[in-house]
Structure 1
């Protein structure tokens, strides 16, 4: 690893916080950017965009986990972009039938991505861009890929909110042949309470997996012990980051 400290020495982490005004959403959005130790010596870096961006850093501890794995030589350096959610409008933004979903997709693709790429030494090709989301954020990731396969093709999907309505939406999509995804669900996610109702994300995980595979997508689908909570997703991050490392173009 470039410019990494010796084993046992805590590497210096840099997380920069910005406020980006979205014309499409008509509001400010907080963007947190994790820069790996040694940045920018190994430029350009692969870049991972995360929905629920604050929570990925606080509850998911993604910067700590990534840094530890980089220091251990298990993960190549990468930049992580956390796109903060508007909690009051999360369903409106992330759900494929949400009233602001199209605006949110445009914010990510047309505002956040170009803004990151003009300010940071990151890759600008789909082989070097990744996207991650939990629950509805996972569904939003799939939706953004479906609309912009030229921008994002590689996804980390944690406990995707593949409800019956979402699966019907997936069935209407023309193709997922260019998609590669790491999918994981908890074995206790058969009855998940959400603001929109109670759903079986466990079996929805397999329905979505089979649909993606039928389109020729590259899917690594897993089940692990756990519930629909950040503690579960945090435990899955090391393996998800390993998958990301293997799929860098």
Structure 2
């Protein structure tokens, strides 16, 4: 899908959606987090749905417009209905939670795996075989860390402009195999001098390096580079492409389920 094909339609039939918000107190993080669940059109509680969990959850809904994009693709018959879960970020502690060397990285992973996922999946009809996780920048790092920690639980990722700094490169390099992983990776060709708390970083080069590392260790990676910078407008443009990739994974595993 080209960027022209991914134009966002703001017709009310696509922007209208059912969003259910929950406030959850995390014992691991010692704080409350909002978890928003977007139900697909014509939601059927007796049907099991694929699910995509999004770090920076509110931003995925407001800046990424993921719910509107998904509704449009469902209406056009390009993807199957799915649940979208937005995990709210604690912005002042974002680096602590998401970065591989973050002070609360382990606690955040425990929150997601031991609190957030069970909370959602005991209340909504999730097809746990089709569990995806999405993140931008450090959210991509958080997604990959969760897959490394619990590959039987998290193993299908949508990664936008992942901030794979040196510590994360070394951490991933120490992983013997990524043969459990399927990932969609997207990065902008203008992301070559991003100013971060870890200094100025060339995310284009870091994403290429991480792609090579994952592929050589057995991961199945759909990788693309497109003209763009480290902003939500760029990621929003390519969210339809990522959701179409998600659909191909769902379809392939439905038609050819693993023995």
3-state SS of the aligned residue for 2:234? helix
Indicate which of 5, 22, 25 corresponds to 1:21. 25
3-state SS of the aligned residue for 2:108? helix
Equivalences for residues 145-224 of structure 1 within 5 A: 145-224=147-226
Equivalent-residue separation in structure 2 for 1:42 and 1:50 (angstroms): 24
Equivalences for residues 52-131 of structure 1 within 5 A: 52-125=56-129, 128-131=130-133
Equivalent-residue separation in structure 1 for 2:166 and 2:154 (angstroms): 25
- Cα distance, 1:162 vs structure 2: 1.4
Equivalent-residue separation in structure 2 for 1:209 and 1:83 (angstroms): 26
- Cα distance, 1:169 vs structure 2: 1.4
Runs of 4 or more consecutive aligned structure 1 residues displaced over 3 Å after TM superposition: none
Could you list the runs of 5+ residues in structure 2 that have no partner in the other structure?
A: 1-10, 254-259
Could you list the runs of 5+ residues in structure 1 that have no partner in the other structure?
A: 1-7
Superposition TM-score, scaled by structure 2 size: 0.90
3-state SS of the aligned residue for 1:205? helix
Equivalent-residue separation in structure 2 for 1:97 and 1:163 (angstroms): 10
Equivalent-residue separation in structure 2 for 1:66 and 1:9 (angstroms): 13
Equivalent-residue separation in structure 1 for 2:31 and 2:216 (angstroms): 39
Q: Is the 8 A contact 1:157 1:184 kept in 2?
A: yes
How many corresponding residue pairs? Answer: 240
Aligned to 2:245: 243
Aligned to 1:137: 139
Superposition TM-score, scaled by structure 1 size: 0.94
